[in-house]
């Protein structure tokens, strides 16, 4: 126990401080994570504050609270699994720690503790404000505040446990391949895409309830029953929120039902701990020993980076460097991979309600959901363009070799530009196609002109973020990182542009939603969102030109300064 505490304290100290020669260490507090959590939390908090009384009137406070915690669980599961892979299995300090006179279990528990603490910060900022706002506006009992505290502590804990289990087969399978980073990234994206698809498909299948669209009470009752049945996908979390709202169900006595609901959730936590901790212990040391036994210097095949031109060879190098680290690859490419998936899943959520609405109502739904979907795509493809924002940072201290390459700086910069533009443009095209097809099936409506202008807006956002983020990373890269987490989560030069990109995407999306809704009500068509999307695309193009001009004019100076 003492060794576990000592190692955990050391790792936490390293995680929250920057050891820069000649400067005193200062606490990072994971500004990036907290800012992201704060942005999402602000939307949830305002929404809960405004709709709390209405949610209480319809009796769905427990269901909405469960959705809030399920989003927290999903975020923690995704980014926690990435942290486990990069910090636990693919960390450069594994050989050092395994050589210490401490058990592998102590190292495992210590690193999982550090990851949990880091991810729990997100949970606190994300859930607590929204939960408190909902409790006040919906006049919830004192148990709701207890529920919020328990959920904030144990929901991310369960996500980390499941993430540790998911990382075991991923690490084992990736160990058979030479490029473990690429294989790990592909497996991660595939797993989370499958999980999200299954969840949305299941939720969609539960919503196929035919009712009279003219009977508002029947529609509300059908929506409530669909939402309630969908909660069984996240049943332990649903039990926790039922405890907080003092919902009955298991017994005539409300207090007895609340106790049973709390016991179900806590029992799930205990069972997960008893099952998953031994599995993680069993495989951690074996995986580390297997990696040590099979470790060998990486060999580059002859002609591996050879292309038809210097530029193509450098582009190939950029992609290979990106995929060699699973953490970088996932965080850089998650947005472009998930954008088309969200383009399908987001519309299918309301697809089961087609028998509840007449054609006019479905047209109004389309006028709202399409610009909302384009806003999500903007955030994923533009604001989350981490490939461009870490183009220089990813190279770390080896960036100095770029000055020694007999290749002009402009060619090297073009390679980085192409490596960011290519995935983004492909994803923008796929996202627009799947959104159009999904709307055709769900709302029986296809607007080709709207789809074209949305595609132009998405591509313009990709170009703008690429040029602006490259310029930012060229001026203030972080080349002294030790782990990818340092380069992204602990790097304000990376986080702040992403936050600005998120705000710009949200502003563009809100403008589109308002314009679309107003023109649809006044004129009965969707021309407004077509016009606003085209206008936003032109504005993005103008700023792209400015960012490109500044990037080209300062590229040589930045290269010389960084490589000196």
Express each pLDDT in 291-306 by its tens digit. 555 444 444 444 444 4
Residue 147 placed within a domain:
yes
Q: Residue 554: which residues within 8 A CB-CB, separation 6 or more?
A: 471, 474, 475
Q: How confident is the model at residue 335 (pLDDT cuts 50, 70, 90)?
A: confident
- For the cut 80, the answer to whether the pLDDT of residue 99 exceeds it is no
Q: Looking at the structure, do residues 261 and 369 belong to the same domain, yes or no? A: no
- For the cut 70, the answer to whether the pLDDT of residue 365 exceeds it is yes
Residues facing residue 349 across a β-bridge: none
C-alpha distance from residue 192 to each of 5, 79, 145, 189, 341 (Å) = 33, 11, 31, 5, 11
Residue 165 has which token pair?
């289990």
Residue closest to 320 by CA, chosen among 333, 336, 304 = 304
C-alpha distance from residue 214 to each of 57, 207, 364 (Å) = 21, 18, 16
Overall average pLDDT of the 387-401 stretch: 81
d(CA 108, CA 414): 42
Q: So what's the pLDDT on residue 406?
A: 75
Overall average pLDDT of the 82-101 stretch: 70
d(CA 213, CA 223): 12
Overall average pLDDT of the 193-206 stretch: 61
Q: Looking at the structure, do residues 271 and 382 belong to the same domain, yes or no? A: no
Q: Looking at the structure, do residues 36 and 182 belong to the same domain, yes or no? A: yes
Overall average pLDDT of the 9-31 stretch: 52
Q: Which residue has the higher pLDDT, 20 or 205?
A: 205
- For the cut 90, the answer to whether the pLDDT of residue 542 exceeds it is yes
Residue 475 has which token pair?
């001026």
Residue 111 placed within a domain:
yes
Query: Quick one: 401 exposed, middle or buried, by C-beta within 10 A (0-12, 13-18, 19+)?
Result: exposed
Q: How confident is the model at residue 79 (pLDDT cuts 50, 70, 90)?
A: confident
Overall average pLDDT of the 125-139 stretch: 84
Q: Residue 13: which residues within 8 A CB-CB, separation 6 or more?
A: none
Q: So what's the pLDDT on residue 305?
A: 45
Residue 93 has which token pair?
């300090």
Q: Looking at the structure, do residues 136 and 206 belong to the same domain, yes or no? A: yes
Most confident range (mean pLDDT) of 79-88, 186-195, 315-324, 503-512 is 503-512
Residue 19 placed within a domain:
no
Q: So what's the pLDDT on residue 24?
A: 39
Count the domains in the chain.
2
Q: So what's the pLDDT on residue 21?
A: 41
- Is there a contact between 403 and 560 (Cβ–Cβ < 8 Å)? yes
Q: Which residue has the higher pLDDT, 38 or 85?
A: 85
Q: Looking at the structure, do residues 368 and 470 belong to the same domain, yes or no? A: yes
Residues spanned by the domain of 425: 325-564
Q: How confident is the model at residue 497 (pLDDT cuts 50, 70, 90)?
A: confident
* Helix, strand or coil, per DSSP, at residue 444: coil
Q: So what's the pLDDT on residue 161?
A: 87
Residue 3 placed within a domain:
no
Q: Looking at the structure, do residues 97 and 50 belong to the same domain, yes or no? A: yes
Residues facing residue 17 across a β-bridge: 27
Residue closest to 164 by CA, chosen among 55, 51, 277, 61 = 277
Overall average pLDDT of the 44-57 stretch: 79
Among 141-155, 256-270, 470-484, which stretch is predicted with the lowest mean pLDDT? 470-484
Q: So what's the pLDDT on residue 456?
A: 93
- CB-facing half-sphere around the CA of 238: CA atoms within 13 A: 13
pTM of the model: 0.66
Q: Residue 299: which residues within 8 A CB-CB, separation 6 or more?
A: none
Most confident range (mean pLDDT) of 132-136, 224-228, 514-518 is 132-136
- Is there a contact between 168 and 84 (Cβ–Cβ < 8 Å)? no
Domain termination residue (choose one: 268, 292, 316):
292
Q: Residue 563: which residues within 8 A CB-CB, separation 6 or more?
A: 399, 400, 402, 403
The continuous run of DSSP H or E covering 392 comes out as: none
Residue 303 placed within a domain:
no
Residues facing residue 532 across a β-bridge: none
Domain termination residue (choose one: 238, 269, 292):
292
pLDDT (tens digit per residue) in 513-529:
888 777 766 665 667 77
Residue closest to 158 by CA, chosen among 265, 17, 284 = 265
Q: So what's the pLDDT on residue 244?
A: 87
Residue 443 has which token pair?
């709302």
- Is there a contact between 177 and 94 (Cβ–Cβ < 8 Å)? no
C-alpha distance from residue 488 to each of 379, 476, 484 (Å) = 17, 13, 6
Q: Looking at the structure, do residues 58 and 117 belong to the same domain, yes or no? A: yes
Q: So what's the pLDDT on residue 485?
A: 67
Q: Looking at the structure, do residues 143 and 227 belong to the same domain, yes or no? A: yes
Q: What percent of the chain has pLDDT over 70?
A: 70
Residue 4 placed within a domain:
no
- For the cut 70, the answer to whether the pLDDT of residue 96 exceeds it is no
Residue 331 placed within a domain:
yes
d(CA 452, CA 384): 22
Domain termination residue (choose one: 292, 309, 333):
292
d(CA 480, CA 161): 31
Most confident range (mean pLDDT) of 23-32, 373-382, 403-412, 471-480 is 373-382
Per-residue HEC secondary structure of 188-251 comes to HHHHHHHHHHHHHHHHHHHCCCCCCCCCHHHHHHHHHHHHHHHHHHHHHHHHHHHHHCCCCCCC
Q: So what's the pLDDT on residue 322?
A: 78
- Is there a contact between 246 and 258 (Cβ–Cβ < 8 Å)? yes
Q: So what's the pLDDT on residue 459?
A: 94
d(CA 180, CA 82): 14
Q: Looking at the structure, do residues 279 and 335 belong to the same domain, yes or no? A: no
Among 86-90, 129-133, 438-442, which stretch is predicted with the lowest mean pLDDT? 86-90
Among 68-82, 147-161, 419-433, which stretch is predicted with the lowest mean pLDDT? 68-82
Residue 112 has which token pair?
């999982």
Overall average pLDDT of the 462-485 stretch: 83
Overall average pLDDT of the 368-372 stretch: 81
Residue 180 has which token pair?
């473990």
Overall average pLDDT of the 220-235 stretch: 62
Residue closest to 389 by CA, chosen among 305, 464, 311, 482 = 464
- Is there a contact between 466 and 424 (Cβ–Cβ < 8 Å)? yes
Find tokens 């190692």 and name the residue.
Answer: 7
Residue 8 placed within a domain:
no
Q: Looking at the structure, do residues 282 and 336 belong to the same domain, yes or no? A: no
Q: How confident is the model at residue 251 (pLDDT cuts 50, 70, 90)?
A: low
Mean pLDDT of the chain: 76
Q: Looking at the structure, do residues 457 and 539 belong to the same domain, yes or no? A: yes
Nearest 5°: the CA angle 12, 112, 275 is 160
Q: Looking at the structure, do residues 104 and 208 belong to the same domain, yes or no? A: yes
The continuous run of DSSP H or E covering 176 comes out as: none
- For the cut 70, the answer to whether the pLDDT of residue 230 exceeds it is no
């Amino acid at each position: 126990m003492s060794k576990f505490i000592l190692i955990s304290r050391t790792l936490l100290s390293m995680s929250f401080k920057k050891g820069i020669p000649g400067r005193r260490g200062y606490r990072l507090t994971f500004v990036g994570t907290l800012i992201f959590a704060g942005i999402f939390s602000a939307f949830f908090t305002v929404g809960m504050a405004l709709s709390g009384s209405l949610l209480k009137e319809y009796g769905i406070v427990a269901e909405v609270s469960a959705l809030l915690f399920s989003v927290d669980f999903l975020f923690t599961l995704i980014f926690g699994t990435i942290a486990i892979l990069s910090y636990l299995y693919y960390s450069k300090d594994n050989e050092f720690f395994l050589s210490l006179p401490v058990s592998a279990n102590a190292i495992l528990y210590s690193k999982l503790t550090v990851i949990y603490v880091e991810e729990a910060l997100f949970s606190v900022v994300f859930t607590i404000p929204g939960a408190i706002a909902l409790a006040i506006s919906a006049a919830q009992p004192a148990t709701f505040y207890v529920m919020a505290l328990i959920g904030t502590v144990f929901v991310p804990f369960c996500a980390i446990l499941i993430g540790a289990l998911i990382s075991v087969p991923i690490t084992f399978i990736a160990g058979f391949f030479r490029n473990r980073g690429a294989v790990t990234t592909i497996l991660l994206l595939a797993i989370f895409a499958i999980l999200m698809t299954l969840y949305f498909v299941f939720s969609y299948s539960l919503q196929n309830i035919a009712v009279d669209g003219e009977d508002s009470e029947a529609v509300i009752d059908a929506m409530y029953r669909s939402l309630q049945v969908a909660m069984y996908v996240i049943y332990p979390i649903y039990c926790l929120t039922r405890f907080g709202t003092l919902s009955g169900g298991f017994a005539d006595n409300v207090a007895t039902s609340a106790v049973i609901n709390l016991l179900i959730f806590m029992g799930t936590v205990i069972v997960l701990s008893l099952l998953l901790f031994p599995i993680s212990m069993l495989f951690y040391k074996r995986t580390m020993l297997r990696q040590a036994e099979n470790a060998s210097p990486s060999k580059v095949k002859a002609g591996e980076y050879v292309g038809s031109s210097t530029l193509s060879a450098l582009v190939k190098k950029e992609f290979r460097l990106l995929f060699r680290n699973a953490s970088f690859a996932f965080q850089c490419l998650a947005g472009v991979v998930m954008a088309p998936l969200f383009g399908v899943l987001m519309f299918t959520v309301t697809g089961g309600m087609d028998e509840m609405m007449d054609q006019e109502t479905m047209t109004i739904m389309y006028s709202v959901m399409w610009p909302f979907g384009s806003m999500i795509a903007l955030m994923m493809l533009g604001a989350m363009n981490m490939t461009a924002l870490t183009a220089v940072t990813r190279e770390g201290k080896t960036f100095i070799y770029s000055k020694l390459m007999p290749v002009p700086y402009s060619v090297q910069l073009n390679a980085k530009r192409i490596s960011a533009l290519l995935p983004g443009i492909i994803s923008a095209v796929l996202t627009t196609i799947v959104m159009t097809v999904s709307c055709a099936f769900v709302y029986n409506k296809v607007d080709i002109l709207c789809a074209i202008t949305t595609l132009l807006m998405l591509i313009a956002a990709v170009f703008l973020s690429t040029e602006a983020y490259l310029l930012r990373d060229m001026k203030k890269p972080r080349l002294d990182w030790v782990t990818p987490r340092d380069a992204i989560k602990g790097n304000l030069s990376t986080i702040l542009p992403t936050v600005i990109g998120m705000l710009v995407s949200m502003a563009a999306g809100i403008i589109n939603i308002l314009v679309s809704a107003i023109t649809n009500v006044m004129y009965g068509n969707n021309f407004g969102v077509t016009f606003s999307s085209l206008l936003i695309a032109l504005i993005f193009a103008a700023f792209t030109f400015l960012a490109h001009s500044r990037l080209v004019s300062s590229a040589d100076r930045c290269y010389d300064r960084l490589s000196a």
